[in-house]
Amino acid sequence: MNIRADSFVARLQAPLSPDERMKIQSGEDEGDAFKEVRMGDVFALAKEFIDMPPEEIEKLLESPIHKVRVGALSIMDKQARRKKTPVSRRKELFELYLRRTDRINNWDLVDVSAPYVIGGYLVDKPRDILYELACSDNIWERRTAIVSTYYFIRQGDVADTFKIGEILVHDDQHFIQTALGGWVREAGKRDRQALLSFLDQYAATMPRTALRFAIEHLDKAQRNYYMGMKKARKE
């Protein structure tokens, strides 16, 4: 099977009409033409191209077409998840992600790949890079920092989620607030007291969106208590 980047794009374009393909090839209407391609089909195609080497994946990342980049990052994720993938390839994927964060510029691109490509690689290594990303001026690098910790959460290791959460807790960007709230909520399933301690310290001052996500799985009395802290601070 040909697992080059151009073959992936050709397969992705196959269901499109000749007119839609012509627009893409001419540089017109690059995103709209692909609106007929279902995301499920992108993921299915990524599974077929799971053995694509990093240099070809990078070519997909350079595409201006969002769904092509989704495909690239889905291939990276599937390689990182696969048990037989060697450590050397995991390292290449990790380095490719960090080198091309300029092309990982939407929440779904981060979420489909960061947990296993970044978090999975770092699980038995120092995690300083996540703290650097959490302080980045790039919103998607900041989201990467917190989303990557999902791999650790699955191992029952929640410390970095809450520490990075403290860095991002007052971030005013919506896509940071949703990630922060969602990930500390998930960490709280493993360590409820750590979540409550985090909320005791920050519920009054953290953005409302993040707070609502964080308290979603608490009982009604606890949710009312922490929302009350927010309301009292505002008044």
What is the rounded end-to-end Cα distance, in angstroms, of the chain? 64
Task: Output the pLDDT for position 200.
Answer: 97
DSSP 8-state secondary structure symbol assigned to residue 32: G
Q: Which residues of 35-50 are buried (b: 16+ CB within 10 A; e: fewer)?
A: eebeeebbbebbeebb
Task: Output the pLDDT for position 194.
Answer: 98
Query: What is the spatial distance between Cα 193 and Cα 51, in angstroms, rounded to a whole number?
Result: 42
Tell which of 125, 146, 163 closes a domain: 125
Say yes or no: 63 and 152 in one domain: no
Residue 18 structural domain = 1-125
Task: Output the pLDDT for position 7.
Answer: 95
Say yes or no: 1 and 114 in one domain: yes
Query: What is the spatial distance between Cα 200 and Cα 74, in angstroms, rounded to a whole number?
Result: 37
Query: What is the spatial distance between Cα 219 and Cα 221, in angstroms, rounded to a whole number?
Result: 6
Helix (H), strand (E) at residue 108: helix 107-111
Query: What is the spatial distance between Cα 102 and Cα 104, in angstroms, rounded to a whole number?
Result: 6
Say yes or no: 41 and 136 in one domain: no
Query: What is the spatial distance between Cα 2 and Cα 4, in angstroms, rounded to a whole number?
Result: 6
Task: Output the pLDDT for position 29.
Answer: 45
State the total domains in the chain: 2
Q: Please report, as a single letter, which amino acid is at residue 68.
A: V
Tell which of 103, 125, 147 closes a domain: 125
| H runs (alpha helix) in 33-86 | 39-48, 54-61, 66-81
Say yes or no: 135 and 187 in one domain: yes
Say yes or no: 98 and 151 in one domain: no
Task: Output the pLDDT for position 14.
Answer: 80
Query: What is the spatial distance between Cα 120 and Cα 143, in angstroms, rounded to a whole number?
Result: 16
Task: Output the pLDDT for position 230.
Answer: 79
Query: What is the spatial distance between Cα 177 and Cα 71, in angstroms, rounded to a whole number?
Result: 26
pTM of the model: 0.91
User: CATH number for the domain including 210?
Assistant: 1.25.10.90
Residue ranges for the chain with pLDDT beneath 50: 28-29
Q: How far is CA 99 from CA 61, 132, 168, in A?
A: 11, 14, 22
Tell which of 125, 152, 178 closes a domain: 125
